[in-house]
């Protein structure tokens, strides 16, 4: 018997254009803004390498990199790394406020590395002084994006985020910062804080701009997913990968930076890459997620998570089994295109 609920062919054809038929990542790749204190620790470089490799696979679009460290070598290194991975010209912004350590460490070493009198690594940056203010670039990128299309990954100080929150209308948008964030940002993935009471540690990113961090925790209008100190300390990037997975070229801006940062061999905690991994592979079981709550900073910049039914904040948790899986996956992502990943 004929099924009266079968749709006519013409109606099926009419509906087909609404289906996703473009190539992998072409239409639905998330738009990412990466906010970093590049140069203070090598895990920022690992995180940026991950973003570039995901982008090369069509899995994201890196809209801009914004620095919470006011240092020319930090900017030059970001540009060198992006250029190396085939993505020159990604917009850069930089805070106008000095926060935290100013020693550029590996960033300067890589930017000034020479052989036979010539710089080893080239970037696309036309001039350090031409880099726009971080808050201004944030507003430009947000205003020019579709609604709720952006994910902000902040692995440095909250300086630029707080400045964006406090910003007023400008040439890019008639909306204030908070309203612009609410309209354009899907959520914020943030490496910050320490919620493990057994670890007496005031987290680096919070301490170096405590006022800004408090402002973000209190007033950011979208969801915040926090990767705290106690997660990254369990996830150490293996020195063996740096020593063996980057052999295609004599010099590599990530491997050389890692070797420059500390005396080899060392396995460095991956605080920042976990914030990237959550965004890109949050359904892979690498992390557990806390219930909702709010974050408070006290007078000495220690952080406290307060469970609250309608709280906008959640934080990542991981056990020893998950940590091993995360390390394995980080090596795979960081070494994409270099050689066969290290196998555990």
Question: What's the average model confidence in pLDDT over 259-284?
Answer: 97
DSSP single-letter state for residue 50? H
Q: Is the CB of residue 119 less than 8 Å from the CB of residue 112?
A: yes
pLDDT at residue 136 tops 80: yes
Cα–Cα distance list, 239 to 43, 130, 245, 246, 321 (Å)? 13, 36, 10, 11, 20
pLDDT at 5: 33
Angle at 147 between CA 222 and CA 176, to 5 degrees: 65
Q: Is the CB of residue 327 less than 8 Å from the CB of residue 237?
A: yes
Q: Which of 300, 290, 288 is nearest to 325 (CA)?
A: 288
Report which of residues 177 and 6 the model is more confident about.
177
Coil vs helix vs strand at 274: helix
With pLDDT > 90 as the criterion, what percentage of the chain qualifies? 82
Cα–Cα distance list, 7 to 1, 17, 21, 211, 251 (Å)? 15, 16, 21, 60, 60
Per-residue pLDDT tens digits for 70-103 = 999 999 999 999 999 999 999 999 999 877 776 7
Cα four-point dihedral sign 247, 253, 255, 260: positive
Give me the torsion for CA of 135, 139, 140, 142, rounded to 10°.
130
Q: Is the CB of residue 51 less than 8 Å from the CB of residue 279?
A: no
**Structural domain contains residue 326:** yes
**Structural domain contains residue 5:** no
Per-residue pLDDT tens digits for 38-51 = 999 999 999 999 99
Output the average pLDDT for the chain: 90
Question: What's the average model confidence in pLDDT over 148-171?
Answer: 98
pLDDT at 13: 31
Distance CA 204, CA 142 (A): 27
pLDDT at 198: 78
**Structural domain contains residue 344:** no
**Structural domain contains residue 153:** yes
pLDDT at 7: 37
Cα–Cα distance list, 131 to 65, 92, 109, 268, 302 (Å)? 11, 6, 21, 30, 33
**Structural domain contains residue 286:** yes
Helix count and strand count (H, E) for the chain: 14, 14
pLDDT at residue 119 tops 80: yes
pLDDT at 163: 98
Per-residue pLDDT tens digits for 201-233 = 899 999 999 999 999 999 999 999 999 999 999
Overall number of domains in the chain: 1
**Structural domain contains residue 15:** no
Q: Which domain holds residue 279?
A: 31-334
Distance CA 116, CA 266 (A): 30
Residue 155, domain CATH:
3.90.245.10
Distance CA 323, CA 216 (A): 28
**Structural domain contains residue 212:** yes
**Structural domain contains residue 300:** yes
């Amino acid at each position: 018997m004929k099924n009266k609920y079968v749709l006519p062919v013409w109606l099926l054809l009419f509906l087909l254009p609404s289906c996703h038929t473009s190539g992998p990542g072409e239409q639905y790749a998330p738009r990412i803004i990466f906010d970093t204190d590049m140069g203070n620790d090598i895990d920022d470089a690992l995180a940026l390498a991950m973003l570039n490799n995901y982008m090369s696979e069509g899995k994201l679009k890196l809209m801009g990199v914004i620095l919470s460290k006011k240092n020319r070598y930090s900017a030059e290194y970001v540009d060198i790394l992006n250029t190396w991975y085939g993505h020159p010209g990604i917009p850069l912004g930089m805070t106008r406020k000095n926060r935290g350590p100013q020693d550029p460490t590996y960033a300067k070493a890589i930017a000034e590395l020479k052989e036979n009198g010539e710089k080893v690594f080239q970037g696309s940056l036309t001039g350090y002084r031409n880099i726009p203010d971080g808050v201004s670039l944030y507003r430009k990128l947000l205003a020019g994006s579709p609604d709720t299309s952006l994910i902000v990954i902040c692995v440095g100080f909250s300086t630029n985020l707080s400045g964006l929150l406090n910003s007023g209308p400008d040439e890019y948008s008639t909306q204030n910062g908070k309203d612009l964030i609410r309209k354009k940002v899907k959520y914020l993935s943030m490496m910050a804080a320490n919620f493990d009471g057994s670890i007496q540690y005031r987290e680096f990113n919070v301490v170096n701009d405590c006022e800004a961090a408090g402002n973000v925790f209190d007033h950011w209008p979208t969801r915040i997913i926090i990767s705290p100190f106690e997660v990254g300390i369990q996830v150490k990037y293996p020195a063996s990968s740096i020593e063996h997975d980057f052999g295609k070229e004599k010099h590599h801006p990530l491997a050389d930076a890692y070797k420059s940062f500390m005396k080899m061999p060392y396995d460095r905690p991956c605080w920042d890459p976990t914030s990237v991994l959550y965004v890109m592979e949050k359904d892979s079981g690498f992390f557990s997620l806390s219930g909702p709550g709010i974050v408070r900073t006290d007078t000495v910049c220690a952080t406290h998570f307060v469970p609250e039914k309608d709280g906008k904040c959640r934080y990542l948790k991981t056990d020893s089994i998950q940590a091993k899986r995360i390390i394995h996956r980080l090596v795979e992502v960081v070494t994409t295109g270099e050689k066969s990943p290290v196998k555990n």
